[in-house]
Amino acid sequence: MTDALPPGSVIGILGGGQLGRMLALAAARLGLRCHIYEPSETPPAAQVAERCTTAAWEDRAALEAFARGVDVVTYEFENVPTEALDVIEAIRPIRPGRRALAISQDRLTEKTFLQDLGLATAPFSEVGSADQLRTAAETLGLPGILKTRRFGYDGKGQVRLREGDDLAAAWAAMQGTPAILEGFVAFSAEVSVIGARGVDGAVACFDPGENVHEDGILRTTTVPARLAPSLAADAVLLTGRLLNALDYVGVIGVELFVCDGGLVVNEFAPRVHNSGHWTQTGCTICQFEQHVRAVAGWPLGDGTRHSDVVMENLIGNDMDRVPELAASGAALHLYGKAEARAGRKMGHVNRIVGHG
Amino acid sequence: MTDALPPGSVIGILGGGQLGRMLALAAARLGLRCHIYEPSETPPAAQVAERCTTAAWEDRAALEAFARGVDVVTYEFENVPTEALDVIEAIRPIRPGRRALAISQDRLTEKTFLQDLGLATAPFSEVGSADQLRTAAETLGLPGILKTRRFGYDGKGQVRLREGDDLAAAWAAMQGTPAILEGFVAFSAEVSVIGARGVDGAVACFDPGENVHEDGILRTTTVPARLAPSLAADAVLLTGRLLNALDYVGVIGVELFVCDGGLVVNEFAPRVHNSGHWTQTGCTICQFEQHVRAVAGWPLGDGTRHSDVVMENLIGNDMDRVPELAASGAALHLYGKAEARAGRKMGHVNRIVGHG
């Protein structure tokens, strides 16, 4: 731990949502303090962090003061504007590093990077015009998914295209936003691996979880995933390869499709990931603490699974079920959000279903 | 959950030490907010709570403002002055209630209460003068322990007396503080039970842990305790009896001596307890969340032990071992205290040693 930040050091977190909140709670366990930077008022993470700066991503003075007041900077979402990161990076290290962030921010760059690394992805083609969309559809075939290159999450910025759809209209609806067309991948399940890499290069992965989505939003993660042992090993190995190739520091979430021919990488997120929330109940050290350990230069913790867990997201009106869930014996996690809007992640519940 | 405080409600916590800090972290998981009241500057709990009032226990206006700003009040230590509690209780409920607090604040009252309940305690006698001490020593025999009736913790306010010791000098050293003499109890081990009782009267106890003290301070707790099944059942049953007799709401820590004739109650603490820290790693729901659930009127959670744990306190210079412990695979908990003084509890470490 020669380069480790000592207890009492301050972790700066860009973004004050539930991921920032749970990072702050994990940092507190290690005696580390947190300073949140978030443009919107009363973010969930501010309730549990020692300090919160409420300022815009364009506020250079606020960004500089924030960076000077912390020892290292991390982020809870990958769409922090590049200019804000430039200001911060001139003052303090940002972990995970800028390269992982830049690659993951752009679906075209991401898929190209993954393929160059020898990892399987869905077939894809760049789409910057109606003509390119037509050509891409002919090359890849339909059905497929037209996705914005940047700023997509929880199924936003995506449209499914089927044979016979009006491609010109589909492109027009994108309003000129650079996009890619992804070809169809026949998969039997989606799994994800939460991996971590320390400053010292040590790599540790949590057991793969099996994800179920509804309306483009993660609904449940079940661990262990129903996955042949060889594929589970593949999933962990390719995550390690990705972490090393990116010279990564922190936790990464890698989404994979389980196909007849093996695993296909859907995408990765350079941060703690919703599909890793089960680790709070299933492991001694959860993904949030693992991330804090990595960015603070500490050794990674023991992420061995001691229990099998089903994680269920609580979205919007699911908050009505809180009284019942509180009495159910499961571990409830609520994010401190005042208003339960449709599609908004309000909390999650981890249920132990067996011993690992 | 009809009387339960909804998510977003505010728990007021009297005292901002490590127990208050870990209560605040547990409350955050349930979407509850915390307001700390603590006379000293920069308390550990303030780093993770939404609000902190820094004011004296005698500051009536501050106490009233605090009480009005929260939905329920609890405490992390049992020596909150009575007058402060009177001010608060006129405005908001205090959980656990005043009776448990009053009884536990006075060793004479506590032991009398326990005996009236039919529970075994060490033999004891009130000591308010040198004469009374002499009589008590004759009646109970020596060795024994002279203890202040109030304000003792971590072995403070106690002196061991042996046959032939100068009793007049021992009493003079107490400077007139009301005391008791406790007779000697031959025990093979000290165990403790962390129990909880909800607003609805439901009772749940964590598995008994076995405690080892050094210099009057808890050093380790090992769970499960090496305890015959019948004694383990006794320990849990007497804790339930105590909780019911006190019409208790919240978590209680009950320290027991294991003797040839059965269990002898040493004392109880009307709060979360150092010997219950293992539950953070060994159970789905830990003692801190159990306490928050109870005082917030929520149903108790599932405190079943999924793993065997050894908890070790980190005291003073033990902080030098943090780099080694961080790499050891155990779960580290640090309290955010700036200065590592001798005898000061700085953190603890929970190590999984088997599966429950």
Nearest CA of chain A to the CA of B50: how many Å?
5
Instruction: Give the mean pLDDT of chain B.
Output: 95
Q: What does the pLDDT read at residue A1?
A: 53
Facing residue for A329 by CB, picked from B302, B334, B355: B302
Clarify whether residues B56 and B142 are in a common domain: no
Residue A118 lies in a domain: no
Nearest to B285 among A21, A47, A331 (CB): A331
Give the number of domains in chain B. 3
B50-97 per-position pLDDT tens digit: 999 999 999 999 999 999 999 999 999 988 999 999 999 999 999 999
Q: Kindly identify which residue of chain B lies nearest to residue A327, measuring between CA atoms.
A: B299
Check CB contact under 8 Å for A331 and B301. Answer: yes
* Secondary structure percentages of chain A, helix, strand, coil, to 5: 30, 30, 40
3-state secondary structure chain B: CCCCCCCCCEEEEECCCHHHHHHHHHHHHECCEEEEEECCCCCHHHHCCCEEEECCCCCHHHHHHHHHCCCEEEECCCCCCHHHHHHHHCCCCECCCHHHHHHHCCHHHHHHHHHHCCCCECCEEEECCHHHHHHHHHHHCCCEEEEECCCCCCCCCEEEECCCCCHHHHHHHCCCCCEEEEECCCCCEEEEEEEEECCCCCEEECCCEEEEEECCEEEEEEECCCCCHHHHHHHHHHHHHHHHHCCCCEEEEEEEEEECCEEEEEEEECCCCHHHCCHHHHECCCHHHHHHHHHCCCCCCCCCECEEEEEEEEEHHHHHHHHHHHCCCCEEEECCCCCCCCCCEEEEEEEEEEEC
State the smallest CA–CA distance between residue B14 and chain A in angstroms: 18
Contact A25 B33 (CB under 8 A): no
B160 known member of a binding site: no
Buried b (16+ CB within 10 A) or exposed e, B217-242: bbebbbbbbebeeebbebbbebbbeb
pLDDT at position B279: 98
Same domain, A211 and A336: yes
Domain boundary among A134, A154, A183: A183
pLDDT of residue A79: 87
Q: Dmax of chain A from CA atoms?
A: 61
Amino acid code (one letter) for A151: F
**Are A41 and A145 in a shared domain?**
no
Instruction: Confirm if A58 and A85 have CB atoms less than 8 A apart.
Output: no
- From chain B, the residues in CB contact with A323 under 8 A are 1, 4
Residues B175 and B193 in one domain: no
| Residue where a domain terminates, one of A73, A94, A115 | A94
Query: What CATH number is given to the structural domain containing A63?
Result: 3.40.50.20
Instruction: Please indicate if the annotation marks B157 as binding a ligand.
Output: yes
Cα–Cα distance for residue pair B272/B21, rounded to 1 Å: 11
Residue A5 lies in a domain: no
The two structure tokens encoding residue A274: 């919703």
CB contact under 8 A, B48 and A25: yes
Residue of B nearest to A307 (CA): B306
Chain A residues with CB under 8 Å of B327 CB are 1, 299
Residue of A nearest to B302 (CA): A329
Q: Which of A4, A24, A47 lies at the smallest CB-CB distance from B33?
A: A47
Report the SS3 class of residue A184: coil
Region label for A336, one of left (φ > 0), alpha (ψ between -120 and 50) or beta (otherwise): left
Confidence band (pLDDT; 50, 70, 90) for B151? confident
Measured between beta carbons, the chain A residues lying within 8 angstroms of B299 are 326-327
Q: Do A326 and B4 touch (CB under 8 A)?
A: yes
> Are the Cβ atoms of A8 and B298 closer than 8 angstroms?
no
Q: What is the ipTM of this complex?
A: 0.93
Residue B101 inside a domain? The answer is: no
CA distances, A28 to each of A163, B27, B336 (Å): 53, 14, 8
pLDDT tens-digit series, residues B175-210: 889 999 999 899 999 999 999 999 999 999 999 999
pLDDT tens digits along B300-318 = 999 999 999 999 999 999 9
Alpha-carbon distance values, B59 to B38, B56, B88, B253 (Å): 11, 5, 11, 30
Nearest by CB to residue A31, choosing from B8, B329, B335, is B335
In B327-356, which positions are buried (b, 16+ CB within 10 angstroms) versus exposed (e)? bebbbbbbbbbeebeeebbbbbbbbbeeeb
**CB environment A95-119: b (16+ within 10 A), e (fewer):** bbbeebbbbbbbbbebbebbeeeeb
Do residues A69 and A156 both lie within one domain?
A: no
pLDDT tier for residue B3 given thresholds of 50, 70 and 90: confident
Write out chain B residues lying below 8 Å of A334, CB-based. 7, 29-31
User: B315 and B253: one domain?
Assistant: yes
pLDDT-derived band at B154, boundaries 50, 70, 90 = low
List chain B residues with CB under 8 Å of A31. Answer: 334-337, 347
**Domain boundary pick from B137, B162, B183:** B183
CA A3 to chain centre: 26
User: B317 contacts in A (CB within 8 Å)?
Assistant: none
Asked if residue B331 and residue B246 are part of one domain, the reply reads yes
B62 and B176 share one domain: no
Nearest CB among B31, B46, B332 relative to A347 is that of B31
The tens place of each residue's pLDDT in chain A, 356 residues long, gives 558 999 999 999 999 999 999 999 999 999 999 999 999 999 999 999 999 999 999 999 999 999 999 999 999 998 899 999 999 999 999 999 999 999 999 999 999 999 999 999 999 999 999 999 999 999 999 999 999 998 766 666 789 999 999 999 999 988 889 999 999 899 999 999 999 999 999 999 999 999 999 988 999 999 999 999 999 999 999 999 999 999 999 999 999 999 999 999 999 999 999 999 999 999 999 999 999 999 999 999 999 999 999 999 999 999 999 999 999 999 999 999 999 999 999 999 999 999 86
Query: Domain limits at B281?
Result: 189-355
Residues A204 and A299 in one domain: yes
Q: Has B190 been labeled as part of a binding site? A: yes
Q: Is A116 within the bounds of a domain?
A: no
Which DSSP symbol is given to A256? E
Instruction: Tell me whether residue A43 is in a domain.
Output: yes
Does A2 map to a domain? no
Instruction: List the one residue out of B178, B206, B56 whose CA is nearest residue B107.
Output: B178
Instruction: Give the whole-angstrom CA distance, residue B248 versus residue A289.
Output: 35
CB B326 within 8 A of CB A293: yes
- For residue A102, being part of any structural domain is answered with no
B38 among the known binding-site residues? no
Tell me, letter by letter, the H, E, C secondary structure of B159-221: EEECCCCCHHHHHHHCCCCCEEEEECCCCCEEEEEEEEECCCCCEEECCCEEEEEECCEEEEE
Residues of A in contact with B295 (CB under 8 A): none
- Chain A residue with minimum CA distance to B282: A284
Contact A336 B29 (CB under 8 A): no
**How many pairs of residues across A and B have Cβ atoms under 8 Å apart?**
120
Helices (H) and strands (E) in chain A, counts: 11, 17
Please state the rounded mean pLDDT for residues B15-36. Answer: 98
Q: Residue A355's closest chain B neighbor by CA?
A: B306
CATH number at residue B179: 3.30.1490.20
Q: How many residues does chain A have?
A: 356
Identify the band that residue B296 occupies on the pLDDT scale cut at 50, 70 and 90. very high
Residue of B nearest to A308 (CA): B306
Instruction: Report yes or no on B28 lying in a domain.
Output: yes
In this structure, the answer to whether residues A18 and A166 fall within a common structural domain is: no
Q: Report the C-alpha gap between A95 and A74 in whole angstroms.
A: 5
CATH of the domain at B345: 3.30.470.20
Are residues A223 and A296 located together in one domain of the fold?
yes
Smallest Cβ–Cβ distance between A306 and the set B285, B306, B319 belongs to: B306
* Whether B24 and B159 share a structural domain: no
